[in-house]
Amino acid sequence: MDAPPTKVELTGVPETALWNLYQRASAARTGHLDDPRAVEVLARLDCPFERFDLPYRGLTARLHAQRVRTVDAALRQVVAGAPDVTVVALGEGFETQFWRVDNKRLRWLTLDLPEVVAVRREVLPDGPRSRTLAGSAADAEWTTQVGRERPVIISAQGLLPYFGRDEVHRMLTAWARLLPGAWLLFDAVNAPLQAVRRRNPLPDGYRPPDWTWIVDADELRQLRELPGLTDLHEVPQAGGDRLLGLLRRVPGLKSQLPAFPVFQARLGLDAA
């Protein structure tokens, strides 16, 4: 007999993990993302997901799918060159990325806040190569749980925009000091995306927390000056969505489009 659905009641930033899961499952159902496990996980959770429905003809889910495909592609590229890598996924929520990018050799360490980890462990239990930790990304304690005998990539998807700029800078420099040689992959929110969300309130019943860290040209310059972050560059957005791809190619429009830019860097190498 199937297990009864797991009841979920999250608020604040942890609740946004459910929002993202809903977007990925919607994209998977409409053929914009290859992620059957997201659909399965959604079905296992007892949660009023209908409050995340948006009247924008599936564009939100497609934008999320594009972000996810972009991060997956960057991750696969690192994994191809370092097949025994440990991926540390900070603020992982209900992501099913391990199953999308697994090469049957890598190790996976998930970190999220205790209330999210308690639910994640029910629906996405640890396996022989995957482990879940409860804690805060802002507290460097998690770095002591990362074995140094393997290459490391830290990924932070949908996490950093909820911190203030100084806190983001503090975390990135601490990780560079504590895990030198690791790759870092993170996404951000651009100013047009924040403006669109502020202009277009979501349906009744759901008010996500504001994004407090936006990456524009000035912030990118500041990130490049942080000690221990080398080769910081934006990863090309993945293809796979004709409409979004066409819009990006319209001259002058690209910088005006709402987007989740994805960045990659190498940590600590300038200090090594």
Ligand X SMILES: C[S@@+](CC[C@H](N)C(=O)[O-])C[C@H]1O[C@@H](n2cnc3c(N)ncnc32)[C@H](O)[C@@H]1O
Residues that bind ligand X (CB under 6 A): 13-14, 16-17, 20, 90-93, 95, 111-113, 116, 136-138, 157-159, 162
Smallest separation (angstroms) from ligand X to the CB of 251: 31
CA distance 8 to 116: 9
Closest CB to ligand X among residues 144, 251: 144
Closest CB to ligand X among residues 95, 241: 95
Smallest separation (angstroms) from ligand X to the CB of 225: 24
Smallest separation (angstroms) from ligand X to the CB of 93: 3
Residue with tokens 């993990």: 17
Nearest to 64 by CA among 103, 41, 35, 91: 35
Closest CB to ligand X among residues 16, 60: 16
With beta carbons less than 8 A apart as the criterion, state whether 116 and 12 touch. Answer: no
Smallest separation (angstroms) from ligand X to the CB of 170: 12
Angle between helices 36-44 and 114-123 (to 10 degrees): 110
With beta carbons less than 8 A apart as the criterion, state whether 88 and 111 touch. Answer: yes
For the residues of 191-251, what is the DSSP string, one character each? HHHHHHHHHSPPPTT--PPPP-----HHHHHHHHTSTTEEEEEEPPPP---HHHHHHHHST
Closest CB to ligand X among residues 21, 85: 21
Smallest separation (angstroms) from ligand X to the CB of 177: 19
Closest CB to ligand X among residues 145, 255: 145
